[in-house]
Structure 1
């Protein structure tokens, strides 16, 4: 009776200071893209009446640009705590599948390494970590290093925006506001593995979100609908085994 071959052993995941430093250095080019978005959050916080200390507390703890923007757009006096909580929950629900995708690293971390990594996980660090995983990377410190670098730049840019809010007068639609979007789009490139079908979930997510926005659906429904549409298509493609003829 033939003995089936053993599955190749998984590479052991490590967490090193070298990996953290490598991730931190890799995050530096993204700081320029974070600048306009962070400044806008700082300016909006000042316009909503938040003090510098309140803005910094929110920024350092929440560390989620989209969630902060949604909360600030809903901010009134008295603050709508329940509405803001639900809106930010909807915006950040995308973190659940991100954590699942990073399970090969996260499942092997414990204590401050795990919680520190989760606390600093953002879209940029997720995309770069997935690309590193696919390239054979096994140092989970890389993910934390990226998150720490982006966190530092985020806190600094929001502080700059709040302090200079009275002097900054950038009109709506200025190209400066596209910098953060361009930075995020650039880090999506390594995630594309060459098959045309890989881009379909991204395209569908964008089209659905744009259609919902054009239909004047309130924030954050366009983001939520686009995310679910793209994720649903991506899951369907994966379940089909990605063996669809004519797509590669």
Structure 2
């Protein structure tokens, strides 16, 4: 009797197991996310927000780096337009994420779509796509919500705790831990030339534009990576059809 794979499709009527699988899959990533969330909480109290105001802001603007940037801008007296524009620019990548998840949510209810868009985080995308490839849409959605919910709970708790602290922790540790959590997800995806070259080009462009304002370097890197992946994908498809 063969042992069942841990990430195998849960089977009929077992969305709870899919939900639990998503939560378990996200747990290792939270090691790098917890200190980042604490920094988000600290950013609120350091910029004149009370602990409760910081918690409310975190619930309303659950947005990672954009959340920290918005708090800093508000603390420095920036206008509402600047704060909103900055947050939107930093989070423009979620347009790509949403398009990626759209087929999975094509038959979902309005409530599921709204909840899914609110809970959307970077790490949940590769986890869901790689671990639920052969699953039914219902189980894929359940896995996605499991991963996102445990992330959301961790973020809110650590942000709330961080807002009580009197000074920022060593940001070097946070800057190291968060990218490592993303690299752990990225590495298994680099299985073919289009993805590998897309990652290389995106990284080079993002690093080259690191000093550009409004986080423009990251956005340019994102679009450059997408364009590279598409170009190599088309080339590979053309070579395959010609052979």
5 Å-filtered alignment, 1:83-232, equals 83-134=82-133, 136-138=134-136, 139=139, 140-164=141-165, 166=166, 168=167, 170-172=169-171, 174-192=172-190, 194-213=191-210, 216-232=211-227
CA distance in 1, matches of 2:39, 2:147: 22
Q: CA deviation at 1:76?
A: 3.5
Secondary structure at the residue paired with 2:143? helix
Contact in 2 for aligned 1:52/1:159 (Cα 8 Å): yes
CA change 1:77–1:217 in 2 (3 A) is closer
What's the offset of the Cα at 1:49?
0.8
Long gaps (5+) in structure 2: 1-11
Q: Does 1:237 align with 2:232?
A: yes
Please report how far the alpha carbon of residue 242 of structure 1 lies from its aligned counterpart in structure 2 after TM superposition: 4.5
Shift of 1:15: 8.5
**Residues 150-206 of structure 1: CA deviation (Å, up to 9, x unaligned):** 000000111111112x1x45344x3343112111111123323x2233211111111
SS in 1 for 2:135: coil
Relative to structure 1, the CA distance from residue 188 to residue 243 in structure 2 (aligned partners, 3 Å threshold; closer, same or farther) is farther
> TM-score with structure 2 length normalisation?
0.84
2:69 alignment counterpart: 70
**Residues 153 and 243 (structure 1), Cα distance of their counterparts in 2 relative to 1, 3 Å cut:** farther
Q: Which residue of 2 aligns with 1:6?
A: none
TM-score (norm 1): 0.83
Partner SS, residue 220 of structure 1? helix
Contact kept? 2:124, 2:148, Cα under 8 Å: yes
Task: Render the CA deviation track for 1:39-96: whole Å, top value 9, x for unaligned.
Answer: 1111121111111111111112221102112212322454421011111111212111
- Which residue number corresponds to residue 16 of structure 2? 17
User: For residues 13 and 65 of structure 2, what CA distance do their matches in structure 1 show?
Assistant: 31
2-structure distance, mates of 1:107, 1:14: 20
Structure 1 residue ranges without an equivalent (≥5): 1-12
How many residue pairs match? The answer is 226
Deviation of the 1:240 alpha carbon? 2.9
1:39-54 alignment runs, 5 A limit:
39-54=38-53
Q: What RMSD, in angstroms, separates the aligned Cα atoms of the two structures?
A: 2.2
Change (3 A) 1:48 1:198: same
Secondary structure of the 1:163 match is coil
